[in-house]
Amino acid sequence: MTDWNGPKAPDEIHLERTSGAARRKAKKVRKARADAAEAAKTRSPRPSGPSGARSSGPRTTRPRGPQPGEGRAADGSDERPPDARRAAVEALVRIEEGGAYANLALGPVLERSGLDTRDRGLVTELVYGTTRMRRACDWLVDRYVTGTRPLDARTRSALRLGAYQLVVLGQPPHAAVTTAVSAAPKRSRGLVNAVLRKVAAEHEENGTVFPDPATALSYPDWIVERLTADLGLDRAMAALEAMNVAGSATVREDGYTQDEASQWVAELVEAEPGDRVLDLCAAPGGKATALAATGAHVVAADVRPSRVGLIAGNAQRTGTDDRVHPLVADGRNVPFAPGSFDRVLVDAPCSGLGVLHRRADARWRMVPESVERLARLQVELVRAAADLVRPGGLLVVSVCTLTARETTGVDCVVADVRPDLEPLPPPGDPWVPWGRGALLLPQAAGTDGMALHRYRVPA
């Protein structure tokens, strides 16, 4: 677990300083210019100018940088060669200025970027990583930004990108600064260069000491405070750090890509061939198709028609469309008689505080009030689902969050309103006991964070 005092700068990081090496480099540059001037004297004379006079020596011009409007088409699109950092800044601006979701902002940018597969991967890392670490990056640069006028979105995005490359990715300063400056608007390149060089110098000299864990790990205060209160300091810090690393996923035998934690939840439903199973909040259909792969017949319900379309598409792609039956329905009022199903899975809507590594901007969108609202919805869904399980059948409740209110808190209400439901023992490692259920921390096995409760309906 990284201490929030921040990582030390890698050994290879260095800053250009007025040293002996710099003086030698300057001397080489002067010699090269002198050699070029001498060589120019041996060339053919230049045509005379309008006055008939010839130049007294070789004409040298300073390389001309891009001018306002250059490199852009009439519609404002960028005509310069494809560049990963510029593409990343474009996506970051859409997130910052337009409020776009990170994944929705990134897709179109990659489509028109002209970048190869490797650079597309770099853009994805830069956009998601910078978005996750936004608070830390802002703290790094804001100490050196003077004036009271707010920074425009493109300048702010270039600064965040540079800080992320310098401190989080540990890139050499000359590369991190130069690439960030090139992606900044021309009018603010001097500012971006000056600020990032100060960040690099301070990081190289002293390491980076953040003021508190929330800033160092780049989360809103309320998330850090809530998880610390619910999980304990050590578990919470480890979980928050784990969710700053991009999530991986496993490809199932049927070709569907899904996190192992979700696959384990589906397995714990213990569906068997011929079972009637209800997946109450099924979109996009990952668990429903996994359940159908056992030979069970699965009604896969979701309240939004567009999401039910995703279920149907995934069932067709995985070859389970003959056993997955998509249904548009509110999980609190589905059109089935009591006791209609052998097994019911409620993968309930939640705050998602166990999958923040997958949704880079979710930490900045979720608000504390949502936790209480979602917990009440979860109780309603579980109560409705319990009535649909046949005597002796199984009810499974899962959420991809780590708050006590949405996990053990919901189970406390269930225990009051349905004391007849028998809680089953928690699964083994890497799950840990959590009240009457189980908790899977994201640091335990490198998966999504999940909470699980299983109940047997009395026969």
Q: Catalytic pick from 137, 281, 350, 400?
A: 400
Q: Residue 411: which of 434, 440, 442 has the closest Cα? A: 434
Active site residue 281: no
Q: Whole-angstrom Cα distance, residue 438 to residue 436?
A: 7
Q: Residue 353 in contact with residue 323, Cβ under 8 Å?
A: no
Which residues, at least 6 apart from 123, have a Cβ–Cβ distance to it below 8 Å? 84, 87, 88, 91, 106, 109, 110, 113, 115
- The contacts of residue 2 (CB under 8 Å, 6+ apart) are 216, 241
Alpha-carbon distance values, 256 to 113, 158, 290, 344, 408 (Å): 27, 36, 9, 22, 31
What does DSSP assign to residue 273? T
Closest CA to 139 of 190, 206, 209, 92: 209
Question: What is the C-alpha to C-alpha distance for residues 433 and 284, in angstroms, rounded to an integer?
Answer: 28
Name beta bridge partners: 232: none
389-399 and 341-347 as β-strands: parallel, antiparallel, unpaired?
Answer: parallel
Tell me the catalytic residues: 400
